Structure 1
Amino acid sequence: MTELDHTDRRILRVLQRRGRISNAELAEEVSLSASACHRRLARLEETGTIAGYAAHLDRAAIGLGSNVFVEVTLAAQTEEALEAFEAAVARIPEILECHLMAGSADYLLKIVVADTEDFARLHRKHLARLPSVARLQSSFVLKKVRETTELPV
């Protein structure tokens, strides 16, 4: 883990909100010279503190306005079953996140689809065919109350 000082944290906060900001604007916002800001930014990237840059898309604007969370319980919890399940999940682009869980379900999936019909298609063609699955429990998101990618740094 990289030691982050107050200035590093300020840089990270600004970048999380305005990822396309120029180095000159970033430097001004965090009260550094452009060269000092560039050096810090390069260090944050090299150490992996900044893992990458991405554009946040409006899901509804691209026809993927429904979110579904699916709890998955596996029939077996052998290493082979876990690996086969995780490999299969990685090939389904609608699955945005897959988490191995402690609790009543083995995995929690975050899925994006156009609507309930699209989810039915995804369920038939992919989810129902995932290896070692004993049970799937799906929950549709009715309203997004809060969603952010900003980490509290």
Structure 2
Amino acid sequence: MSKELDRLDRKILRALQAEGRLTNIELAERVNLSPTATAERVRRLTREGYITGYMAMLSPQKLGRNLLVFIEVKLDRTTADVFDTFAAAVKRSDDVMECHMVAGGFDYLVKARVAGMEAYRQFLSEVILPLPGVRETHTYAVMEEVKAVSALPV
């Protein structure tokens, strides 16, 4: 059973979102709690699903992934088998960073990061367009990332 988050839980979550490599002692100092109590709270927050993992943020530019694109995908039919096939294919692609089924004028919004326009053309023709049910796509190439955060308000 999940316990309601209190002020200290929220402080812990904010601190870990900002700097996931904090040691338990550093975290305890930041939230003004004993290391033992801090460790227990982190274990509970993890057990209850508030903390789902830790990762390093990498530079797309240093790794040669300079082009960020968003692709609207419209399907010609919206059946469970088409949804399942589409979802399985995008999950296999290393270029896809996010994929969301959406309500509105199209069916999926795909966020992908590739080396450049040539790599994007190859990704579109080899991954997205061959999928069964894909009727239409619209691509938006990002010219400038104005805001890109992964931290949630806590």
Q: Which bin holds the TM-score, normalised by the shorter protein?
A: over 0.9
Corresponding residue number in structure 1 for 2:68? 67
CA offset digits 1:6-47 (Å, max 9, x no partner)? 100000000001000100000000000000000000001111
In the alignment, the residues of structure 2 paired with residue 77 and residue 103 of structure 1 have an alpha-carbon distance, to the nearest angstrom, of 13
Q: Percent identity?
A: 41
Deviations 1:103-143 (A, max 9, x none): 00100000000111110111121111122100011000000
Question: 3-state DSSP class of the match of 2:62?
Answer: helix
RMSD: 0.9
Which blocks of at least 5 consecutive residues in structure 2 are unaligned? none
TM-score (norm 2): 0.97
Query: Which consecutive residues of structure 1, in runs of 5 or more, have no partner in the other structure?
Result: none
Moved over 6 A (4+): none
Which 10-residue stretch deviates more, 141-150 or 115-124? 115-124
Match of 1:39 in 2: 40
Contact 1:68 1:138 in 2 (8 A): yes
How big is the shift at 1:2? 4.6
Deviation string for 1:45-87 (max 9, x for gaps)?
1111100001110100100011000000001001111111111
Alignment of 1:2-151 (within 5 A): 2-151=3-152
One-letter amino acid of the counterpart of residue 36, structure 2: S
CA distance in 2, matches of 1:124, 1:79: 23
- How many residues align? The count is 153
